[in-house]
Chains A and B, each alone.
Chain A
Amino acid sequence: MTPQPFILRNPSILVVLAVLAVFTVAVTLLSQAYGSGVIPTSTVKVLGKTLCLALAAIAMDLVWGYLGILSLGQMAFFALGGYLIGQWLMYARTETIVAASLAQNPIPPTPAELQEGVANQIFGVVGSADLPLVWSSAHSLPLQLLLVVAVPGLLALVFGWLAFRSRVNGVYLSILTQAMTLALALWLFQNDSGFRGNNGLSGLQNIPGLEAVDQARLSVWFLWGSALALALAYVLAAWLVSGKFGSVVGAIRDDETRVRFLGYPVEGFKLVVFTLAAMITAIAGALYYPQAGIINPAELMPIASIYLAVWVAIGGRGRLYGAIIGAVVVSLLSSWFTGGRAPAVHLPGYTINWVDWWQVALGIGFVLVTLFAPKGIAGVVDRIGPPRSPSPEHHAKEAKA
């Protein structure tokens, strides 16, 4: 299959890519660093982070909307990606600082002294002065970048292999993924886990080697990076779910027993999608946390993963652009409402303060969406919009959910 028919068969790809490009250019032109400055740097960061969340939502949609596994462990992969890139960010930056301070000494430091100084700086807060084994490659950006995809991928592979092999599925599997996430979170919460306990990793917004670049420009760069990653992941995911592979994956979601009797190794397909989604999610996390600046184990409590599922459900699962819509709309609304900028509603006798009531509204709204619009916002878009595909075959593919 040549690229042209593939893209043509999925016109939504072109639309999404175009919207993404326009969005990125617009934000750049309105940013403080490269344009009029209408959009403050903090907002650029929020938008960049939102793109990363949309990326994670795409992966969630692959796993849930297409493969039918309601994984409540996606944020574990997301946070792992953040932790692994955070290791390098923190180590390399601390190393620069420690080297500068050791340079005051007339005798140049030995590598061991340098490492000891870094370890002291990073782990003093948890009362340790040794560099844990898990930090042994933290000095190297290429190694950590490799680990960003390798570790979550391996975790997904092992977990998936265990779970799929014993045919755990449905609600059981959801609970098991949730348990995995909780286990990881609790592990990271310990002070001697090697990841600074509940302090987490911080100062991640400072990129070693780019000290001369101010945050205004960095934020735009990260926005570009996030948009690029989202675009690539979107094309990859769309390609994945379009061909025969997509048919098999959808068939597994609908009736996995039957797929087995067709001779397909169902577990293998699940593993491929689950692992790939974990890797995409980890990349999203690795792009997200340098923009957020700090990561701690609270980020991967099970509730965060359920929020991801909520976004995808509200946006419309089984549709890649639905996942993006859901993540963008709900996360931006959430930060607007909980940011205290939403106007309070004055009722006779009571004032609804959105900081307090947004969660309630979100919860109820979510129940309503599940009950009355199971296909989410994308489903509503489908109903009012004209059919985009020229032939019924394509329409059928779009509508499956």
Chain B
Amino acid sequence: MSALLEVDGISVSFDGFRAINNLSFSIGPAELRAVIGPNGAGKTTFMDIVTGKTRPDKGDVTWGTPPKSLLRLNEAQIAREGIGRKFQRPTVFEDQTVAENLTMALKASRNPFAVLGWRPSRASAARVAELASEVGLAAQVARKAGELSHGQKQWLEIGMLLASAPRLLLVDEPAAGMTLAEREQTTALLVRLAETRAVVVVEHDMDFVRRLNCKVTVLHQGAVLAEGSLDHVTRNPDVIDVYLGR
């Protein structure tokens, strides 16, 4: 199984602070992976680099087969390559309706002129309805996103990610601020999604990670500290030291 995303020896520093230090990481085409680590371990910076928001000082990020470098692409191009990102804070377009939010995210040409000529079709309307019910917002399609609850916004954002049909999904703390029931729903969804694509979940919450039941990568000070099953890494003395020690 060749890797879908290969991060090779990247480093980046902000004003002398090394946020990422010679980090290597790889994930297959249909895999669920949890990335954990204490605050400042470089989790968010790692996602910023993969999605093109931050440029690494050295190292390379390659994608797909045949592998091509992502470093020369901007955020939008990387997104069009099929890398979706869900932010920690739900970011949906609050002034627009759920349907409009989903329509914008639908897989279609992103060229301004193509967008200008885009017409809603029976198929696109059906797809929006399908997505809305998939994330449990069928009754809210016509409401403005700003009127939704926090959890609903999280779901809408996931729905938007699904709409663009990414091959790699980067999810930043999906469980934050969710009720228990919503968490369970989220877990199930992520596991199901990972059957057909790669999913990377960045999370603090160990319970949530345990429920995902997948390979875990532990980041510390911008580098990989340990990798393996959750049980495996929690037995690692270094990890224990980082999480509990000092």
The chain A residues found within 8 Å of chain B, CB to CB, are: 1, 240, 243-245, 247-248, 250-251, 254-255, 257-258, 260-266, 268-269, 271-272, 391-393, 396, 400-401
Contacts known (A250-B95, A255-B91); A245 close to B116, Cβ less than 8 A? yes
Q: Which residue of B lies closest to A393 (CB)?
A: B142
Closest beta carbon of chain A to B171's beta carbon, Å: 13
Q: Are B76 and A263 in contact (CB under 8 A)?
A: yes
- 19 chain-A/chain-B pairs, Cβ below 8 angstroms: A243-B118, A244-B120, A245-B115, A245-B118, A247-B96, A247-B103, A251-B104, A254-B94, A255-B93, A258-B87, A261-B79, A262-B104, A262-B110, A264-B104, A265-B112, A268-B111, A271-B112, A396-B143, A400-B95
Q: Are B75 and A254 in contact (CB under 8 A)?
A: no
Contacts known (A254-B93, A400-B96); A261 close to B85, Cβ less than 8 A? yes
Report the bound CA distance from A342 to B116 in whole Å: 47
Q: Enumerate chain B residues within 8 angstroms of A240, measured Cβ to Cβ.
A: 116
Q: Enumerate chain A residues within 8 angstroms of B103, measured Cβ to Cβ.
A: 244, 247
Closest beta carbon of chain A to B47's beta carbon, Å: 10
B 111-150 contacts with A by CB, 8 A: 111-113, 115-116, 118-120, 142-144
How many contacting A-B pairs (Cβ < 8 A)? 94
Contacts known (A244-B118, A251-B93, A255-B93); A266 close to B104, Cβ less than 8 A? no
Closest beta carbon of chain A to B76's beta carbon, Å: 5
Q: Are A392 and B143 in contact (CB under 8 A)?
A: yes
Q: Mark B68-83, 1 if CB is under 8 A from A, else 0.
A: 0000001111011000
Report the bound CA distance from A271 to B91 in whole Å: 24
Q: Enumerate chain A residues within 8 angstroms of B104, measured Cβ to Cβ.
A: 244, 247-248, 251, 262, 264
The chain B residues found within 8 Å of chain A, CB to CB, are: 51, 53, 74-77, 79-80, 84-85, 87, 91, 93-97, 99-100, 103-105, 110-113, 115-116, 118-120, 142-144, 160, 164
Q: Enumerate chain B residues within 8 angstroms of A255, measured Cβ to Cβ.
A: 91, 93
Q: Are B142 and A262 in contact (CB under 8 A)?
A: no
Report the bound CA distance from A149 to B111 in whole Å: 23
Closest beta carbon of chain B to A366's beta carbon, Å: 25
Q: Enumerate chain B residues within 8 angstroms of A244, measured Cβ to Cβ.
A: 103-104, 115, 118, 120
Q: Enumerate chain B residues within 8 angstroms of A271, measured Cβ to Cβ.
A: 112
Closest beta carbon of chain B to A101's beta carbon, Å: 51
Q: Are A262 and B120 in contact (CB under 8 A)?
A: no
Closest beta carbon of chain B to A52's beta carbon, Å: 26
Closest beta carbon of chain B to A229's beta carbon, Å: 21
Contacts known (A1-B119, A247-B104); A265 close to B76, Cβ less than 8 A? yes
Contact of A392 among B87, B110, B119, B142 (CB under 8 A): B142
Q: Are B118 and A263 in contact (CB under 8 A)?
A: no
Closest beta carbon of chain A to B174's beta carbon, Å: 16
Q: Are B143 and A262 in contact (CB under 8 A)?
A: no
Closest beta carbon of chain A to B189's beta carbon, Å: 19
Q: Are B93 and A1 in contact (CB under 8 A)?
A: no
Report the bound CA distance from A334 to B141 in whole Å: 45
Q: Are B99 and A393 in contact (CB under 8 A)?
A: yes
Closest beta carbon of chain B to A314's beta carbon, Å: 22
Report the bound CA distance from A283 to B164 in whole Å: 39
Contacts known (A261-B75, A265-B111, A392-B143); A247 close to B100, Cβ less than 8 A? yes
Report the bound CA distance from A261 to B142 in whole Å: 24
Known: A245-B112, A265-B76. 11 other contacts (CB 8 A): A243-B118, A244-B120, A247-B104, A250-B95, A251-B104, A260-B76, A263-B76, A264-B110, A264-B115, A266-B76, A401-B95
Contact of A263 among B95, B144, B164 (CB under 8 A): B164
Contact of A258 among B93, B111, B112, B118 (CB under 8 A): B93
Q: Enumerate chain A residues within 8 angstroms of B74, measured Cβ to Cβ.
A: 260
Q: Are B110 and A263 in contact (CB under 8 A)?
A: yes
Q: Are B76 and A393 in contact (CB under 8 A)?
A: no
Q: Are B110 and A265 in contact (CB under 8 A)?
A: yes
Q: Enumerate chain A residues within 8 angstroms of B79, measured Cβ to Cβ.
A: 260-263
Q: Enumerate chain B residues within 8 angstroms of A243, measured Cβ to Cβ.
A: 116, 118-119
Contacts known (A244-B118, A272-B112); A391 close to B93, Cβ less than 8 A? no
